[in-house]
Amino acid sequence: MDKDIFLTNSLGNKKEKFTPINPKKIGMYVCGPTVYDNPHIGNARPIVVFDILFKVLKCKYGNKSVTYVRNITDIDDKIIASSIEKKVKIGDLTKKITNIFHDDCKYLNCENPTQEPKATENVSLMIEMINKLIKNKFAYEKNNHVYFEVKKFKEYGKLSNKNLDELIAGARVEVSENKNNPADFVLWKPSVENEPYWESPWGKGRPGWHLECSVMSKKFLGDKFDIHGGGRDLIFPHHENEIAQSRCANENETFANFWVHNGFITISNEKMSKSQGNILKIEDFKNKFSGQVLRLALISSHYKQPLDWNDKLLSECEKTLSKWYESFIEMKKQILIPDEYLSPLYDDLNTPGFIANLHKLFEKSQNGSDIDKQIFVSACNFVGLLNESKVAWNKFKKSKLKITEDEIKQKIDERNNARKNKDYKSADKIRNELLDKGVLIEDKDDKTLWKFK
Position 121, amino acid: E
Residue 361 covered by a domain: yes
* Structure confidence by residue, pLDDT tens digits, 66-103: 999 999 999 999 999 999 999 999 999 999 999 999 99
Query: Final residue of a domain: which of 373, 396, 419?
Result: 396
Residues 304 and 445 in one domain: no
pLDDT at 225 (0 to 100)? 98
Residue 278 covered by a domain: no
Bond preceding residue 306 cis, omega within 30 of 0: no
Listed residue (36, 40, 440) closest to 267, CA to CA = 40
Task: For 225-247, give one letter per residue: b (16+ CB within 10 A) or e.
Answer: bbbbbbbeebbbbbbbbbbbbbb
| Count helices and strands in the chain by DSSP H and E runs | 15, 15
Compute the distance between CA of residue 423 and CA of residue 427 in angstroms, rounded to an integer: 6
pLDDT at 298 (0 to 100)? 98
Domain span including residue 405? 401-452
Which residues are within 8 A (CB) of 107 and not within 5 positions of it... i.e. 6 or more apart?
282, 286, 291, 294
Position 200, amino acid: S
Query: Final residue of a domain: which of 265, 295, 310?
Result: 265
Residues 10 and 125 in one domain: yes
Residue 297 covered by a domain: yes
Residues 153 and 33 in one domain: yes
- Angstrom distances, CA of residue 25 to CA of 114, 173, 363, 382: 12, 37, 39, 22
Residues 365 and 413 in one domain: no
* Structure confidence by residue, pLDDT tens digits, 231-277: 999 999 999 999 999 999 999 999 999 999 999 999 878 877 766 77
pLDDT at 441 (0 to 100)? 82
366: enclosing H helix or E strand: helix 351-366
Share the mean pLDDT of the chain: 92
Residues 234 and 180 in one domain: yes
The total number of structural domains that make up the chain: 3
Residues 34 and 161 in one domain: yes
Residue 1 covered by a domain: no
Residues 101 and 145 in one domain: yes
Compute the distance between CA of residue 184 and CA of residue 254 in angstroms, rounded to an integer: 21
Residues 246 and 137 in one domain: yes
Residue 14 covered by a domain: yes
Residue 203 covered by a domain: yes
pLDDT at 170 (0 to 100)? 54
pLDDT at 445 (0 to 100)? 74
CA atoms within 13 A on the CB side of 415: 21
Q: Please calculate the CA angle 163-166-167 and round it to the nearest 5 degrees.
A: 85
66-70 and 139-142 beta bridge pairing:
unpaired
Neighbours of 329 (CB within 10 A): 15
Residues 189 and 295 in one domain: no
Q: What is the CATH number of the domain that holds 29?
A: 3.40.50.620
Residues 353 and 228 in one domain: no
Residue 280 covered by a domain: no
Query: Final residue of a domain: which of 235, 265, 295?
Result: 265
pLDDT at 168 (0 to 100)? 67
CA quadruple 57, 59, 63, 65: dihedral sign: negative
Which residues are within 8 A (CB) of 385 and not within 5 positions of it... i.e. 6 or more apart?
109, 292, 295, 296, 321, 324, 358
Residues 54 and 91 in one domain: yes
Compute the distance between CA of residue 61 and CA of residue 170 in angstroms, rounded to an integer: 41
pLDDT at 426 (0 to 100)? 85
3-state secondary structure of 426: helix
CA quadruple 148, 150, 155, 158: dihedral sign: positive
Compute the distance between CA of residue 41 and CA of residue 56 in angstroms, rounded to an integer: 23
- Angstrom distances, CA of residue 177 to CA of 143, 145, 193, 241: 10, 11, 21, 20
Residues 367 and 295 in one domain: yes
pLDDT over 70, % of the chain? 97
Listed residue (67, 72, 51, 168) closest to 119, CA to CA = 72
Compute the distance between CA of residue 448 and CA of residue 217 in angstroms, rounded to an integer: 59
Query: Which stretches of the chain score pLDDT less than 50?
Result: none
